[in-house]
Amino acid sequence: MMLKIIKILHLIAAGLTYLLALLSKVLVSQKEKEKREQAAEWEAYALSWRVAVEANNVRPWRTVPPECHTHVQTYMSSGQYHSDLDLIVKQILSYAQTLTLSHDGFDAWILDVDDTCVSNISYYQAKRFGCDPFDSAIFKAWIMKGMCPANRAVKVLFDALIERGFKVFLLTGRDEATLGKITTENLHNEGFVGYERLILRSPEFKGQSAVRYKSAIRKAIEGEGYRIWGNVGDQWSDLQGECLGKRTFKLPNPMYFIS
Amino acid sequence: MMLKIIKILHLIAAGLTYLLALLSKVLVSQKEKEKREQAAEWEAYALSWRVAVEANNVRPWRTVPPECHTHVQTYMSSGQYHSDLDLIVKQILSYAQTLTLSHDGFDAWILDVDDTCVSNISYYQAKRFGCDPFDSAIFKAWIMKGMCPANRAVKVLFDALIERGFKVFLLTGRDEATLGKITTENLHNEGFVGYERLILRSPEFKGQSAVRYKSAIRKAIEGEGYRIWGNVGDQWSDLQGECLGKRTFKLPNPMYFIS
């Protein structure tokens, strides 16, 4: 009798074990499914957000939304960012090809510096690709290393513009007094040689928005008699305001926003 | 002797069959790998192209590049397009929320019609999502059906703007004489009720670029004393020129380009 009961209890225990294993398997796969669905939802949102940033629909913004971290990281690191740069540079070069220059030394082109000519991905990588707030001290320390690598595609553009006869102006919001020397050296070391002028932010423009500062500089350049054929930057504030140039091009940047 | 030879030949034939099967398997998997790599390359290119279109870096363009067909089809059909619309409408609504209206009946907002308020995906689906050239006769026949469905997200925006007290102007490049009646009916049937004015292209603007025509209309609206707080369209030509409004929003459209 006792033996029979034990046998039955044993059977029940075995069945229970089996059922619990099955249940935990179902729950785990349910959780994994939810995780996959969440990731897919965030990916769709992040792609929408990135495109909206590029089309200047989102502004201003301080940090990359946390849901977009994986997307922006992948975008910047796994080739799509460089694919984007390549395509835009091709568009710029075919536009430049259509222009009839007068070759009087006044055919000008404006290029921004940070995340246009040279890249700050290294700094932003440590800041979770823009999800963490901007840290001006750490950023300055990074710039002072003079180690910003050239954006390969923009370097190709830079060389082609100079070869074609444009006077290239590099226009940056970097502070002239503290960052002028290292910026000049960094650009030189990365092969940016032969430009007309590197223009940094002098004391009179301190505290001004990028739109205002850069507009004033472009106005002054036009005032000298230059014709600005093209203007390339990674921020919409490079491409808004006055004296924009005959055509502007927006390079991608989902990591930060400057107004 | 003969039997031995036959046996050896049989063995050779069997070996050969095996080797050929192996080779064809390798070749097929190689071909499939190449196909997958090609598809991945086109996908990366198409995504770059679409984002460059949204940022107004590619212009003008006549048809969607053939390599981008699958990408644009998937984008328009499988939710990402609507995810993009949703995100932008949210941005617009939070912007509208920040505005202090004077409620004197002159707080205005401009909305484009085609692929802003209502959708032409049905027409473009039959044109391989813009890979085939535009066919004005077939497009007109489609419009004359009066069956363009509302873009759900933009309908929500439209209602919210009217609720908030804006005078909404619907501004379209459609021909007034031939498409005025059907456009009014189509919009009404899709729930676009309560707008201030629907403005179609009258004879005096025939043949003018969208930028010129729409600028002239916006100028006239401002001339009547209206303040244009916002301006929303799927084409950059809706958002360029004069009297743009305090802020513009670019809705996605990778299917066609109007200059």
Contacts of A91 in chain B (CB under 8 A): 52, 57-58
pLDDT for position A3: 84
In chain B, which ranges are E strands? 107-112, 167-175, 197-201, 227-233, 247-250
Please answer yes or no on whether A57 and B86 come within 8 Å at the CB atom: no
Check CB contact of B40 with chain A, cutoff 8 Å.
no
Model confidence at B252: pLDDT above 90: yes
DSSP letter assigned to residue B117: T
Contacts of B50 in chain A (CB under 8 A): 51
pLDDT for position A94: 98
pLDDT for position A142: 98
Please answer yes or no on whether A52 and B86 come within 8 Å at the CB atom: no
Please answer yes or no on whether B55 and A55 come within 8 Å at the CB atom: yes
Give me the mean pLDDT over the B218-241 stretch: 98
Cβ–Cβ under 8 Å, residues B69 and B131: yes
Check CB contact of A44 with chain B, cutoff 8 Å.
yes
Helix orientation angle between B80-98 and B152-164, rounded to the nearest 10 degrees:
10
Which structure tokens are listed for B108? 């205005």
Phi, psi of A233 (to 5 degrees): -155, 165
- Report ipTM for this prediction: 0.91
Which structure tokens are listed for A6? 């034990």
Higher-pLDDT residue of B176 and B11 is B176
Please answer yes or no on whether A51 and B52 come within 8 Å at the CB atom: no
Summary mean pLDDT of chain B: 97
Which structure tokens are listed for A7? 């046998």
Q: Is A189 helix (H, G, I), strand (E, B) or coil?
A: helix
Q: What is the mean pLDDT of each run of 10 residues along chain A (259 residues)?
A: 87 91 92 95 98 98 98 97 98 98 96 98 98 97 98 98 98 98 98 98 97 98 98 98 98 97
Pick from A166, A81, A47, A134: which is nearest to B75 by CA? A47
Contacts of B54 in chain A (CB under 8 A): 51, 54-55
Instruction: Give the one of B48, B50, B250 whose C-beta lies nearest to A57's C-beta.
Output: B250
pLDDT in tens, B16-56: 999 999 999 999 999 999 999 999 999 999 999 999 999 99
Instruction: Give the CATH number of domain A66-250.
Output: 3.40.50.1000
Distances (CA, A) of B110 to B43, B167, B191: 35, 9, 17
| Number of inter-chain CB pairs under 8 A, A vs B | 67
Give me the mean pLDDT over the B144-157 stretch: 98
Cβ–Cβ under 8 Å, residues B250 and B239: yes
pLDDT in tens, B63-118: 999 999 999 999 999 999 999 999 999 999 999 999 999 989 999 999 999 999 99
Cα–Cα distance measured from residue A250 to residue A237, given in angstroms and rounded to the nearest whole number: 10
Kindly list the domain boundaries of chain A, sorted by start residue.
Answer: 1-48, 66-250
The pLDDT-based confidence of B1 (bands split at 50, 70, 90) is: confident
pLDDT for position A170: 98
Cβ–Cβ under 8 Å, residues A190 and A150: yes
Model confidence at B214: pLDDT above 90: yes
**Nearest CA-CA distance, residue A244 and chain B, Å:** 14
Check CB contact of B45 with chain A, cutoff 8 Å.
yes
Contacts of B47 in chain A (CB under 8 A): 80, 83
